[in-house]
Amino acid sequence: MIENEFKLMLTEEQYEKIHSIFQWDKEHEQTNYYFDTPQLTLVNSHVTCRVRKIDGEFLLQMKLPNGADYSRIELEERLGVQLPEAMTGDCLNALSGRGDMPDVSLIGELTTFRSVKKFDGAEIDLDKSSYFGKTDYELEIEFTDEAMARILLADIAQKIGITRAGDVCLGKVHRFVAEYKKQMT
């Protein structure tokens, strides 16, 4: 699957304003367990390896580069109800179709409370994420229709009074890794 999304970091106040604007289709909590080598080989290669826990089930997910900054290849495989502590490169190669994946182990977790609103051609994901004692707020607009996504982003930016709607922010894995590195020093 190809994932196209725009991301925007928010303050807590902006998050609360957006949360109050919409009737949300779904709200849930999910935890991402990130896996990598001690040298962060995957992240340094722009590859994300995580196990996501939703409703008691674990899903192995990999995100691979796909050219544009806002576009990634997302792969997924069900793992069942057990979180692994480590995964072999062979397992990751089988999912990704590559041959260069290293053995990886769990480096930490990030928990997100997500509010979801669906539109034709786009979906708003409003996230409050916690990791390493830190909380941040993010707006993601996933899309198949880029024009619709840009309209939604501009509309939300206008409603909550922000002018930086064109900014690109770092994804969760990169914010997580920045805090992870601080914890390791």
Q: pLDDT tens digits for 84-138? A: 999 999 999 999 999 999 999 999 999 999 999 999 999 999 999 999 999 999 9
* Phi, then psi, of 46 in degrees rounded to 5: 65, 30
Residue 41, both tokens: 């080989």
Q: How many CB atoms lie within 10 A of CB 92?
A: 22
Q: Tell me: pLDDT of 177 over 70.
A: yes
**What was the pLDDT predicted at 83?**
94
Q: Contact at 8 Å (CB) between 104 and 42?
A: yes
pTM of the model: 0.87
The 10s digit of each residue's pLDDT in 14-58 is 999 999 999 999 999 999 999 999 999 999 999 999 999 988 889
Cβ-proximal residues to 133 (8 Å cutoff; 6+ apart), any chain: none
Q: Contact at 8 Å (CB) between 24 and 180?
A: no
Give the residue among 80, 104, 73, 81 at the shortest CA–CA distance from 91: 104
**What was the pLDDT predicted at 156?**
92
Q: Tell me: pLDDT of 82 over 70.
A: yes
* Domains of the chain and any CATH numbers: 2-184 (2.40.320.10)
Q: Tell me: pLDDT of 166 over 70.
A: no
